[in-house]
Structure 1
Amino acid sequence: MNSDEIVKLLIEARESYYNTDTPVMTDAEFDDLEEQLRAADPENEYFSSVGSGASTSDKVKHQIPMLSMGKAKNIDDINVWIKRLALNGGEPFIIEPKIDGLSATCRYKNGKLFYVATRGDGEYGQDITHIAEYVKDIPASVKFTKDDIEVRGELYLPRTTEFDTGGRPLRNNCVGLINRKENRGDLKYVRFAVYQLSGSESGDSEAGRIDLLAENGFNAVKYKLVYDAGEIDKFYNLYMECLRSDWEYETDGLIVSVDDRRLFEEIDSRWILDHHHHYAIALKPPAEFRETILNDVVWQVSRQGNLVPVALFEPVVIGGAKLGRATLNNFENVKKLKIEKGDTLIVQRANDVIPFVYGNKSSENRETFSGEIIAVQCPSCGSVPVQSGVHLKCINPECKEQIIQRIIYWVKNCNIENVAEASIRKLFDLGRIKGIKDLYELTEKDFEGIDGFAEKKILNFITEVRSSKRITPAELISRLGIPLVQKKSLVKMGIYTIQGFLDFNDDSYVIGKNIIEWKRDESNLRLLSELLEVLEITDAGQKESSGKVCMTGKGPGKRNDLAKMIEEMGYEFSPAVTKDLAILICDDVNGKSSKLDNARKNGIKLMSYEEFFGDKIIDMK
């Protein structure tokens, strides 16, 4: 595969992992693909993105980016990381569980809960404040500070949950509950484990801040302070032996971090900061395996038309979870494994989380592959699929499941409340809707005779849908499901209008190639045309940014006020030094700090606060 093909697979996997309850590949496969891409194209802009973009409605911009983690596979990698840190010696490290849930942050202002948001792409998350009234670990207020703070952690379902998981992984169920549009009472089963406090002058120790949160009623993670790689290795062995099965939450490794927060900025300043912080690293465990007998393979249809194979096998228990199904990822993988009914499969639960079929013992000496389990027709519409890359694909534009999945995707990304998947399926089956456009043309009469739709529910449904009609060009384009295309990437591409999107033809970047490929499909252009008929496109007043600007050192005012002024001046504020930074504002352009040296090395312009803000500084005094 070339770089573009790898990026396409990675984006599909990210979107599935962060935004749905049905991941399409395992963590191990995902990591392997990332390593392939890093070896082939280390500067690919894919590596500057984190997670998956939140829907463009009700987005929350994180005051401090929620970045990903660098990865270590073994203690040797940890030793290399410690050597790179080049600390003075004697500084403690804090080890915490890497909970496999949904990363989230709770922001408090003046002691009151302001919002709850997902990590999203690290810069923007989705507002999920609605869960606070159900999740007992999210207090409505805090007493220990009136500062503007963020409490970060993981939303998860405990191993001992009473919620009926249907045999699916706990993380998948947790994401499904959080994304529910109706029947939200089951959110009471979701827990929130906190691991970080930011925005407060509450000490320089990460461990101390976790203790503070625990003392104030938060469900804080367990941690261990250690001082060298030997102690880290010892704790990791304890984790492998018993802790990962004893902890109430599922984990996919450990987080090792420098405990002294005063060192964070200096450590990060030595390298470009885009994907992950350098003062912490994730130590991931090897996967667990079990053998079982394959009973059948079913094929599911994605909104892109890909037929995704799922193995159904004799139930096995791995890491305390009973599993009876696992993804086979794609058509090419089924062929590679030469899978037949009755085969002995090796099922792996990668990083204690996502089950997948690792191998097929029965096919080790099998020279031929009958292909009896390969889908010969789309399970939804019955059309004959064609091979597209590693997938079998249904190319029928009228395929029921594809259309329904696209409607569900649109509703979710518009953050339309009170519109559940079950309701969409009912309306589709009864012929009341045939596509996204029809949602906006529904009237009370269209709900007549449908069980479960009382007057209030009908009114809520129609009101919520219509409230999403007013939309900016950037919001519309970013909701079309084009890989990597978000509002900020449209600015980068110089796309500010629908016509600008239609005329765009620059394939210099992966994002541009994705846009061009999407427009080649006539059905996509028909979808856009239909949406333009029913949506009200508003002028966002969006202007081209003059570039990204970061600040370091002591400024002439509060950091938040200065950041706001930067954006009012037409720039995009960046809280960290990144590769695409235009200007780094500092108190001394001739300074010798590692952050300034790093900026000079990467050709980033240095400006003093006085030079950048000019007379605006006088206004602040």
Structure 2
Amino acid sequence: MAAADENADEDNPYLQDPPTDFAPVADLSEDEAERQVELLREAIREHDRRYYVESEPLIADRTYDALFARLRDLEEAFDLSHPDSPTRAVGGEPLEEFETVSHVAPMLSIDQSGEAEDVREFGDRVEREVGSVRYVCEPKFDGISIEFVYEDGRLERAVTRGDGREGDDVTRNARTIGSVPQRLHGDYPDFLAVRGEVYMPKDAFQQHNRERIERGDEAFANPRNATAGTIRQLDPSVVAERPLEVFFFDVLEASELEDSHWSELERFSTYGLRTNDRVEMVDGVEGAIDYRDRLLEVRDDLDYEIDGVVLKVDSRDAREELGRTARHDRWAFAYKFPARAEVTRIADVAVQVGRTGRLTPVALLEPVDVGGVTVSRASLHNPEEIAEKNVNVGDTVRVQRAGDVIPYVEEVVEKGSEGHYEMPDTCPVCGSPVERDGPIAFCTGGLGCDAQLRRSIEYYAGDDGLDLEGLGEESVRQLVDAGLLTTVADLYELDREDLTDLEGWGETSAENLLAEIDASREPALADFISAMGIPHVGPTTARELAREFGRFDAFRQVAEEEPDRLEGVDDVGETVAETIHDFFTSEANAAVVDDVLGHVIPQEAAVDTGGDELEGLTFVFTGSLEDVTRSEAQELVEAHGANATSSVSGNTDYLVAGDNPGATKREDADANDVPIVDEDEFRALLADEGIDLA
């Protein structure tokens, strides 16, 4: 074991009652600055350990902030930055992409079941093979598993689970998480690789979602999605702004191993690695079942999401004897909780500003299972409906989910508040007055409201629009804030100098985005119709409209002059037809469409009756295909009877992965045992049915 070289020192003045009236930086010599930096780093690491691991902070938050600011000022003034300094937690320059790194030991999945008998069968098998054992039981965290590797006590790398053998190097992002120590404490091993679960606390998640909704951003569906989306951000400064935490729960590899898992966990806290206080040691599998039942009772009181418990054989020798399969360790088992009922509590209400300025109140929920999907937000629709249902923060409500749309609050089951929620008088994003049109509330700020402008551009460039890689919500916000985008059409006026003058943009990222924009000047008709952001017209309806009318000018003319004809198109009823008509007859929308048409030429859509060769199959596409666009591939399989959806589920038959596929869809495919095929395999699959891809 190696002793830490920077343990908290009794002579360090920044530990107990630290002074914050520092001498001016300019008055310090280089030697004095180096000594003060050393003491500040040492103290801040100890304060982090006390706060995150021991939950016994020595100083107030304001004092901690003063010490942190002083350290940052000294490092900048004397060029004393260091990779494992606490100040590295504020992020750094954005990455172009993540590097793929092999794990030091496999990060396998866990065999699981929601049935007690399956747990007992696991226990019987363990006892037959190695005799009676003790189990370490822990919550099954619903977050993102990360491998953290420490060499000589320093954090060297953090890697996502990936396929279990290799994953993405997210070290710079992990350094921004306060509960991830940059340096270990105590008598740590020379080499230590540990498995941790990064998560977003429930309270922090609700607050973060509220902030996102009120500034016009899309809310995260649940804490796990928020965590996954955050840890894979290419810009560490974005990660630093989001409330992530971590629990460490397993040793993957170490230069010196303990005889038991329980002993390893006891040492974690001495190293400064934060563990969960609900972990217990039990005798036999019945003790593990009892542990699960007790944890289920307090599940809703925890500030982190769990979906079951994990029982692990404590003895390392027994673990070695039990071994592993290709997919999971044979010494561990997850006993899952039943899905939550559709009744939950409203934790908060936020107001979302849409592309058209419509204000939509959104209930932020204690996460609940609705139709097999865990959700933590639900639409309250409009002020009139809120008053009719008498719904407010603190109420227990029943949540329903219709198709793939956002869940909605059906009724109040139990009042936990007085009265009903009142909508704001001003827009939460721009402060403009709110006006009512019947039951609907609108922001009067128009494109002067950042939320409306940004959301229209984000949608145009997003997966349901023209899929412009490199133009996500953060980059759109940056371009809008810089005054470079005042309408969608401004995308086509951007040049390299505009982009490279902005923070975080290099020559390569600028050229890549401009190439994406240039390639979108002749979009598929269905993509263009969807990208316009017409309410109720998503990719599926857009494809039906493209098939029906063939040309954009023909579709637009019917929408403006003969909206009744739209009702003959699949997926278009009276309400949708009226919405499409209203969209094109709006002077503001018509002007935006005309401006965009000055830069793009939507392609004619071939009317193809196709066949039913692929009937019953469901495809999801990710990444870019070489010979056809994703939209053309979707149209092709749908023309031959298949379904093409945007997300992977247990109903998906194939995930077609082109170049630069999305990691989330691949992970979802692995989780649902969905076959992943490349473009050549997709082409062969179609050829077997007599269908030509291109």
Scaled by the length of structure 2, what TM-score is found? 0.43
Structure of greater relative contact order (alpha carbons < 8 Å, 6+ residues apart):
1
Q: Report which of the two structures shows the higher radius of gyration computed on alpha carbons.
A: 2
Scaled by the length of structure 1, what TM-score is found? 0.47
